[in-house]
Chains A and B, each alone.
Chain A
Amino acid sequence: MNLILFTFIVLLGFTSYYFGRRKAYTIQSTNKRLTALPQFYGYYLAIWCAIPAFIIFSLWAIFEPTIVKLLILSDYSNQGYLDDELNLIYEKTKALSRGQFTGEITPFIEASAEKYLSLRSIAQSSKAVIVLSIIIASVAYAYKKISSNSRTREPVEKFLKAVLFTASLAAILTTVGIVFSLIFQTIDFFKVIPLFDFVFGTHWYPAKAFVRDSSEALDPTMYSDTFGAVPIFAGTFFIAFIAMCVAIPIGLMSGIYLAEYASVKVRQYAKPLIEILAGIPTVVYGFFAALTVGPFLKEIGNSMGLDVSAESALAAGGVMGIMIIPFISSLSDDVITSVPQSLRDGSYAMGATKSETIKKVIFPAALPGIVGSILLGVSRAIGETMIVVMASGLAANLTLNPLESTSTITAQIVVILIGDQAFGDPKTQAAFALGMSLFLVTLCLNIVALRVVKKYREKYE
């Protein structure tokens, strides 16, 4: 029903476009100059069709369920039901009307379900009638209004601007929404666990929190020494550090090779091949780290008499570094290529060799951009989850030995949030606190990276 209505409105939109343009041509044929190209008249009418439809549809979507619910539940008022019970009755009614109700059917509920169905169908048909009549009225009004000297281009341009603005607003509002969803849970968490214990505590053992029976009263003292985040922060930065030790040199050198030394032909094939690395899902990197690199390192270590855990920070960090290589190499390649040729010429003309030119002129000129690409790589490394979960284990050891297993913020969030959780429990809220701190760290890194990149852009303008 909705689909038919929607198709109809779209068709109506096209028709009004056609009529608007035709009217424009008619005006033009009387030798009058139009204020805009004929298609703007068409778009103008189509907008007069789209906006009322959109408004009515959204109002309907907001108010229809509420009104229907009120009408259904009015039968049950004054019978001493609690709000929760009323909600349950309404849910039962809806389920029955859809034929999905499996419980005991009482005559009351059956009557309500019938009432529900009839209300819905009335709502549907009245919606169709109202939408169509308003659209036709508004299009007809606009059609009459347009004449040789009416303005159509400006409203159309404004409409487009508004559409684009809404799109970007949606992205921003989502971010704000996510931040707020984190903030409230985080605040609740810190009401139970002191901030100091979280930031400076050295024992992370959330499993201890699993044992609490949720019917017991919350006793903050039982959580001392449970949510000390130092080991996982240390683990996060440690694994990210190992990853960057792999990614920065290899990524940078391959970027420099691609930008300065590779012939057009090599570059043409090599660059997409490197970028394929960026397309591999991180789970697959996780396999690679857990099933190939980890055991391999263990074997090598054992043959040298070292005690290597199969799940080691080195395996996870190393594979994560490989994952980040394409980001750094591709971005730094772009940055280096965008250093103006005139600087290279200037250096070569002084008798500098290629490596001198790269080292002394191109690299410093591209440095801000390269730093930006590295910072973006770091924030990827810190936010990476799957590889760590699969290859570095979940025990939060406070260690700087790359051959032992450690855990990261992201991996701990996974540990906490898979399976059953009770909301309002410090254990669950700990995930939000971790998420919040992760968000803050990567946000800062991204801001710094973008600043640096922006500064670089201004340089050659």
Chain B
Amino acid sequence: MIKINSKNVDVFYGKKQALFNINLDIEENQVTALIGPSGCGKSTFLRCLNRMNDVIDICRVKGQIIINDFDINDKSCDVVRLREKIGMVFQKPNPFPKTIYENISYGPTIHGMAQSKNEMDEIVETSLKKAALWEEVKDRLHEPGTGLSGGQQQRLCIARAISVKPEVILMDEPCSALDPIATAQIEELIDELKKDHTIIIVTHSMAQAARVSQNTGFFHLGELIEHGSTDKIFKNPENKKTQDYITGRFG
């Protein structure tokens, strides 16, 4: 099943074009990895999918991105609803300077998802459990989220993202600020999460892409060079550039 269908997506930062004619389909309930050298546009593409590029004044997006039969670049698209459906986890853990509980309850509160304190408690608990953080923080829910370790903070951010039950989770190099143990925990978590969510992950680590993803897209200089199943991209790439990048000859 195709979850996201992007057609002829161009992105400009001022006069500079950052993405050229991207056509990429994302499979539902699978993990899609976006790889490529720095500055190739993979994060820019990721940020198109929940319109986070709106935040940047000089950024313009052209083309269609269709999610649930609806073009999110259309004027009638409600960004608030869109971002409720499409969560995001950032490169650097960015918990709010609030308590762990408030970090999770933030999304459900602004979207009016809980009618009572009990419901909210339940959302917080399930979100933290799904993010494999519950056991570690259940006794300190009312301590600041910024006091957790880096890996725990990132799992807190994942819990925050899944608290509003998004259909898609975008992850922008979620492990680049973490040590190998925390990275392994997050990767395990990603595998778990794909049951309920469609996941798109930008990563610099090809090993990580190979470990966690079912599909891979390779970006280079703003173009999508090749995409397909992770197996095929890593074992039998069609394009010379993909092969060079994967074997570490450039990038």
Using CB atoms and an 8 Å cutoff, list the residues of chain A in contact with chain B: 263-264, 340, 342-353, 356, 360-361, 364-365, 459
CB contacts (< 8 Å) of B80 on chain A: these are: 351-353
> Can you list 26 A-B contacts with CB-CB less than 8 angstroms, sorted by A residue number?
A343-B97, A345-B55, A345-B88, A346-B96, A346-B157, A349-B87, A349-B88, A349-B90, A349-B161, A350-B83, A350-B160, A350-B161, A351-B81, A351-B83, A351-B107, A351-B110, A351-B111, A351-B164, A352-B110, A353-B80, A353-B110, A360-B106, A361-B106, A364-B97, A365-B96, A459-B146
The 6 closest A-B pairs by CB, nearest first: A351-B83, A349-B88, A342-B94, A351-B84, A350-B107, A346-B94
Q: Which of B57, B83, B96, B107 contacts A343 (CB 8 A)?
A: B96
Known: A350-B106, A351-B164. A365 touches B82 (CB 8 A): no
Known: A349-B83, A351-B80. A264 touches B94 (CB 8 A): no
B168–chain A nearest beta-carbon distance, Å: 12
A413–chain B nearest beta-carbon distance, Å: 43
Counting CB contacts under 8 A, is B50 at the interface?
A: yes
Counting CB contacts under 8 A, is B204 at the interface?
A: no
CB contacts (< 8 Å) of A356 on chain B: these are: 110
Counting CB contacts under 8 A, is B52 at the interface?
A: yes
Tell me whether A350 and B52 are in contact (CB under 8 A).
no
Known: A342-B90, A353-B80, A360-B106. A348 touches B52 (CB 8 A): yes
CB contacts (< 8 Å) of B107 on chain A: these are: 350-351
Tell me whether A345 and B94 are in contact (CB under 8 A).
yes
Number of interface residues of B (CB under 8 A): 28
Counting CB contacts under 8 A, is B241 at the interface?
A: no
User: Restricting to B63-102, which residues have a CB under 8 Å from any CB of A?
Assistant: 79-84, 87-88, 90, 92, 94-98
* Interface majority SS (helix, strand, loop, mixed), chain A: helix
Smallest CB gap from A361: residue in B: B96
CB contacts (< 8 Å) of B95 on chain A: these are: 346
B50–chain A nearest beta-carbon distance, Å: 6
User: Restricting to B106-151, which residues have a CB under 8 Å from any CB of A?
Assistant: 106-107, 110-111, 146
Tell me whether B52 and A263 are in contact (CB under 8 A).
no
CB contacts (< 8 Å) of B164 on chain A: these are: 350-351
CB contacts (< 8 Å) of A345 on chain B: these are: 52, 55, 88, 90, 94
CA distance A334 to B52 in the complex (A): 24
CA distance A343 to B92 in the complex (A): 10
CB contacts (< 8 Å) of A364 on chain B: these are: 97-98
Tell me whether A346 and B83 are in contact (CB under 8 A).
no
CA distance A342 to B92 in the complex (A): 8
Tell me whether B52 and A349 are in contact (CB under 8 A).
yes
Tell me whether B98 and A346 are in contact (CB under 8 A).
no
CA distance A351 to B87 in the complex (A): 8
Smallest CB gap from B106: residue in A: A350
A81–chain B nearest beta-carbon distance, Å: 76
A53–chain B nearest beta-carbon distance, Å: 55
Tell me whether A340 and B83 are in contact (CB under 8 A).
no
CA distance A356 to B160 in the complex (A): 16
CA distance A264 to B107 in the complex (A): 30
B109–chain A nearest beta-carbon distance, Å: 8
